[in-house]
């Protein structure tokens, strides 16, 4: 199989095959579930292995550093070996990593080593997902395809957050990791051989009647006669825009890193500003639900208005930048350098009372607005970025996905660590100010990509 396995016929323009999407969602949730588990079960893991939150954070960082470092190589490999083999290699790697955590981890560095293997394995799974959507989902429905894929991420996180802290003390923290290993092996064996060319009947569109329906059929027929590349829009030409892909990956890394930092530290920020623990948790959960809805809604919208994808990308990032500015202004009412245990989310009552006295209603309003905008629209664009990437480089969808994964993984690894260090040094007020500048830079880079299209 070559890196341009494109001599395959296109699926119907409106095809959205459930069988392919089930594999996509299951593979991504299983691959990322260990990172959700280690956060949800951090207390029993820390007590059993006698490690602190630093070791837990280092394990998650090792996952994303490995994913970022190897994503381009993984994408290129998957474009050569095909999605089915890519899924199998990646999922079996996830199985080994999860089993290693559940059976063999006895020290903090063991966690980091096994999580690094998990991150390396993700570099086969995520590009395989891109080839699946590019090959099996019609070009008029690929926005929804990537939206469903990306919505699986916050969904899996919420499931882990809600259920596993309750189950961990009952069944032991190791058992969920072993369950992930079993699920990964099972899915690896069940990936269908036609995963890149599953065909489902096109979804009925009552708006396509008469001459519009005939025109849509003629467009699809012409695309088939040209032997259109897997996942390529019929309007696409040439070998791809690698420079645009690079800018897209950098912008994604910046914005994705900002989202990861806010998701990690918005609760400690809220507590230091005087919000109660239950309200702070509800704020994070509500904003995460907003991100899920926006990821699906953005995919639905660009399928109906393909030319609006860059406008929507810039708009969502700009909304996130506004949220970051609001969050930075709110955090200025908080204390200065934050104790290490507070930055890790372990806030004592004595640490929040002084801030509660100084924080007014406007501060809390800005906090809520900032968190909702940043974790909603400001982190709801990821499906659009993957869709844009495979259309910038239509001949190599897995490589395009790998470039975006490299950016997102790098941001996800570096920004939470940097934000935690800054919070300990200068407080969340200046931390979120610096992070807001990074978000504005992401908006500017995305606008540059848009201007060149």
Q: From its phi and psi, is residue 172 left (phi > 0), alpha (psi between -120 and 50) or beta?
A: left
CATH of domain 238-453: 1.20.1250.20
pLDDT digit string, tens, across residues 243-258? 888 999 999 999 999 9
Specify the pTM. Answer: 0.76
Asked whether the domain spanning 238-453 has the same topology as the one spanning 15-197, the reply is: yes
Rounded average pLDDT over 133-155: 84
Rounded average pLDDT over 127-139: 87
Length of the chain: 453
Who wins on pLDDT, 220 or 386? 386
Domain ranges of the chain: 15-197, 238-453
Which helix H or strand E contains 233, and what residues bound it?
none
pLDDT at 229 over 80: no
Q: By C-alpha distance, which of 134, 153, 197 is closest to 388? A: 134
**Euclidean distance between CA atoms 99 and 435, whole angstroms:** 36
pLDDT digit string, tens, across residues 99-124? 999 999 888 889 889 999 999 999 99
pLDDT digit string, tens, across residues 348-405? 434 444 444 445 788 889 999 999 999 889 988 998 999 899 888 888 888 888 899 9
**Euclidean distance between CA atoms 378 and 218, whole angstroms:** 38
Q: Which class for 184: exposed (0-12), middle (13-18), buried (19 or more C-beta within 10 A)?
A: buried
**Euclidean distance between CA atoms 268 and 294, whole angstroms:** 25
- In the block, tokens 């990437």 appear at 389
Which superfamily does CATH assign the domain made up of 15-197 to? MFS general substrate transporter like domains (1.20.1250.20)
Comparing 70-79, 160-169, 317-326, which segment has the lowest mean pLDDT?
160-169
**Euclidean distance between CA atoms 163 and 165, whole angstroms:** 6
């Amino acid at each position: 199989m070559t890196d341009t396995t494109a001599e395959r016929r296109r699926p119907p323009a409106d095809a959205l095959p459930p069988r392919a999407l089930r594999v996509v969602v299951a593979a991504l949730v299983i691959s990322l579930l260990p990172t959700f588990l280690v956060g949800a079960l951090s207390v029993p893991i820390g007590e059993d292995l006698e490690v602190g939150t630093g070791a837990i954070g280092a394990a998650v960082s090792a996952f994303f550093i490995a994913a970022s470092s190897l994503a381009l190589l993984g994408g290129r490999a998957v474009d050569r070996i095909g999605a089915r083999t890519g899924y199998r290699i990646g999922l079996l790697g996830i199985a080994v990593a999860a089993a290693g955590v559940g059976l063999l981890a006895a020290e903090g560095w063991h966690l980091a080593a096994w999580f690094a293997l998990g991150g390396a394995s993700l570099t086969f799974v995520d590009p395989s997902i891109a080839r699946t959507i590019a090959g099996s989902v019609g070009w008029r429905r690929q926005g929804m395809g990537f939206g469903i894929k990306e919505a699986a991420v916050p969904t899996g996180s919420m499931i882990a957050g809600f259920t596993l802290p309750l189950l961990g003390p009952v069944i032991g923290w190791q058992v969920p990791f072993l369950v992930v290993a079993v699920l990964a092996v099972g899915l690896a064996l069940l990936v269908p051989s036609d995963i890149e060319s599953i065909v489902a009947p096109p979804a009925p569109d009552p708006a396509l009647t008469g001459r519009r329906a005939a025109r849509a059929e003629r467009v699809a027929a012409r695309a088939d006669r040209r032997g259109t590349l897997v996942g390529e829009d019929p309007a696409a030409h040439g070998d791809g825009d690698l420079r645009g892909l690079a800018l897209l990956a950098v912008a994604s890394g910046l914005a994705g890193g900002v989202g990861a930092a806010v998701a990690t530290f918005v609760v400690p920020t809220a507590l230091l500003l005087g919000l109660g623990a239950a309200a702070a948790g509800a704020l994070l959960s509500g904003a995460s639900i907003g991100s899920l809805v926006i990821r699906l809604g953005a995919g639905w919208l660009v399928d109906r208005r393909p030319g609006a994808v860059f406008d929507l990308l810039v708009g969502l990032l700009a909304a996130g930048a506004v949220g970051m500015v609001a969050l930075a202004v709110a955090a200025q009412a908080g204390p200065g350098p934050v104790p290490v245990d507070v930055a890790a989310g372990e806030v004592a009552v004595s640490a929040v009372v002084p801030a509660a006295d100084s924080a007014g209603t406007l501060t809390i309003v800005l906090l809520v607005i900032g968190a909702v905008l940043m974790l909603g629209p400001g982190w709801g664009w990821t499906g659009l970025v993957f869709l844009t990437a495979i259309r910038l480089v239509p001949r190599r969808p897995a490589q395009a996905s790998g470039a975006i994964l490299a950016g997102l993984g790098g941001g996800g690894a570096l920004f939470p660590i940097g934000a935690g260090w800054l919070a300990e040094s200068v407080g969340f007020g200046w931390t979120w100010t610096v992070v807001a500048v990074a978000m504005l830079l992401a908006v500017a880079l995305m606008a540059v990509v848009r201007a060149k299209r």
